[in-house]
Copies of this chain bind each other. A is one copy, B any other.
Amino acid sequence: MQYRLSEIVAKLGGSLEGADVTVSAIAQTDRAKPGELTFLTDKKYIKTLPNCQASAIILSDKDAQTLSLSISKIISDNPYLYYSRVVNLFHPKPRIAVGIKDTVKIGKNTLIGKNAAISDYVVIGENSQIGDNCQIHSGVVIGDNVVIANDAIIYPKVVIYSSVTIGNNCSLQSGCVIGSDGFGYAPDASRHWHKIPQIGGVVIGNDVEIGANTTVDSGALSPTIIEDGVKIDNLVQIAHNVKLGAHTAIAAQAGIAGGTTIGKHCQIGGAAGITGHVTIVDYAVVGAASNISKDVTVADIYSSGIPAFKYKEWAKIMVYMRNWSDTQDRLKKLENELKTKNGSI
């Protein structure tokens, strides 16, 4: 597959500067070969440009003006987004063949939309709906009373429990589990745990993507909610009755405990932990490996992850931490002595 730059601009916008060359691939600055298109989306790659062999580059107007590059340019307001669209041009996502394999099991009163593609050994329960153009890969299990709207891609081995609703254009990576029982138990007098039924289900909006082996629990009485445009990475835990605001992004291994509400356009870093029953304001950013333990009412960046030290230094720091109370006492004692001295002199 190859395109002239003018064809790309006609499809994706932006403006062309320089010769209307033909390009056969898109590649990073340090890997692109003659006849290929590259992109500048991060200043740290500017230093690689002098040796770059690409025949054309996608970049911002500002960078185009600052850097005196002799190759052809596609100028874009958002080179990163432009780059991703060019990748899609060169590598259109393969689709699984339309049709329902004869090993698929579908429960009664379940409706399948137009142009759906359902692979081998998929099992779908009763009273469910699968929208138009959905691609459901091998081995997926979908429960009863599930609604999946149009254009979903459900990768192999995803499990969707009963009473889950999923909007248009969502993708669920392999092994993610949607609607598993929330972790709620009532203790009795002898401290044995009794399961609280988890019947609230999950409601997921449009354009949501959920990563591999991530778990999203059913709400207890009312649903767990994931609004439009939310993107969730791998191995994330979304507990019962969490509400994730639209266009929030959550990196791998983060965990959101039960009943917590996260605002719109938030960014939650990898392995961050958000405690239960708190509310986080729109546009908040939580750093990797950081813990939120109370409401966040101001949109800001929040951190508590500690970058590692050499072990010997860290061992010393741990001693200081254990003796912190003593150190504070010593400081107080010095202050008192000096005050006495000041008074006495």
Contacts and interface: CB of A to CB of B under 8 A. Distances in A.
Given A121-B123, A175-B215, A330 B335 contact: yes
Interface in A231-250: 231, 233-235, 237, 239, 247, 249
A123 B141 contact: no
Contact of A302 (B103, B290, B309): B309
Interface residues of A, number: 125
Interface stretch (A49-57, A79-87, A128-136): A79-87
B177 A175 contact: yes
A75 interface: no
Contacts of A221: 26-28, 31, 87
A301 interface: yes
Interface in A276-301: 286-294, 300-301
A328 interface: yes
Interface in A291-330: 291-294, 300-311, 313-318, 320-322, 324-325, 327-328, 330
Contact of A288 (B161, B192, B249, B273): B273
Contact of A235 (B155, B235, B302): B235
Given A307-B292, A314-B304, A212 B180 contact: yes
A198 to B, nearest CB: 9
A270 interface: yes
A285 to B, nearest CB: 8
Interface string A159-197: 101100000000101110100110111111101111111
B235 A215 contact: yes
A66 to B, nearest CB: 22
Contacts of A239: 252
Contacts of A162: 94
Contact of A139 (B123, B161, B185, B215): B123
Interface of A: 26-28, 31, 77-78, 80-81, 83-85, 87-88, 91, 93-94, 103, 105, 119-121, 123, 137-139, 141, 144, 155-157, 159, 161-162, 171, 173-175, 177, 180-181, 183-189, 191-197, 199, 207, 209, 211-213, 215, 217, 221-222, 229, 231, 233-235, 237, 239, 247, 249, 251-253, 255, 257, 265, 270-271, 273, 275, 286-294, 300-311, 313-318, 320-322, 324-325, 327-328, 330-331, 334-335, 337-338, 341-342
15 contacts: A78-B188, A83-B186, A84-B186, A121-B123, A157-B177, A159-B174, A175-B177, A175-B215, A193-B231, A212-B217, A255-B271, A300-B310, A330-B331, A331-B334, A334-B334
